[in-house]
Amino acid sequence: MFTKELEEFIAYLKHEKNASPHTIANYKSDLLQLAQFLENKKLSLRDIDNIVLRGFLAVLYDRGEKKTTVGRKLAAIRSFFQFCVRKHWVDDNPAKVVSTPKQDKPVPSFLTEEEMQEFLDLPQTAKPLDKRDKAMLELLYATGIRVGELVGISLEDVKFAERLIRIKGKGKKERLVPFGKMAEMSLRAYLHVRSMINKGQVEESPLFLNYRGQRLSSRSVERTVDKYIRRSALKRKISPHSLRHSFASHLLSRGADLRVIQELLGHESLATTQKYTHLDLKHLLEVYRKSHPRS
């Protein structure tokens, strides 16, 4: 086992990389699975090479694990060994020569503009938690931010005069993201009743609070989106991340530059943003057929 090394790696993910609790939990689980495999083989950390790792991946495939899951486990192992090399616990990263399984590329789920309008109108009562939900959903769609970024927003991060929010993204990188009039209206309506959540016993800093008056968790946001999906007429799988996909595809369909969308989403690579281009293929074909002289 490599308990000490794993604990230091998890602390590094949490405090230096600012990884989400979900990512940390997955990486820890994946690496504990590798540790168990090594223990069964009576191998130590320094015994691991690319042959051993391929044997571990073969066991995962034999168990019927999906390519996406195997790819995530390999990414966790690769990141862990990169950390081990920097700490001089091992001489090389054996995972760097192991190929990531070729992934299927499903189309990201997203809502049409009409579906989004209906979805955002679902929280309708004057209850403080409903006003919070309305503001939360409007902000997710208005900014395209991740759920982890949404729950990390504090009151001082919101600049109403400029309609900007300071977002703390992956790796503690900060960016300013604009929001529109509808999101502003919903935010102001929520802030007007925010102190009524839990009868005024609320934390001062977090923007979005749970019913106990504490900072909302990512899991709570997921449950909230699921609740409104069940109330809607939508019959397909929609997640909080679908609002991010919708944000990107709607901007693209209305002519926004891909690099602007990249900056708004907080993507380091343009290639990550380019997955949204195929979402708008129908619109591109319509424009082509109407515009090209020999179409």
Active site residue 283: no
The catalytic residue among 132, 215, 250, 267 is 267
31 vs 77: CA distance, rounded Å: 7
The catalytic residue among 27, 141, 228, 276 is 276
245 vs 289: CA distance, rounded Å: 26
The catalytic residue among 17, 78, 241, 275 is 241
The catalytic residue among 134, 194, 244, 245 is 244
The catalytic residue among 54, 168, 170, 275 is 170
Active site residue 146: yes
The catalytic residue among 146, 215, 250, 294 is 146
Active site residue 63: no
Active site residue 241: yes
Active site residue 276: yes
Positions annotated as catalytic residues are 146, 170, 241, 244, 267, 276
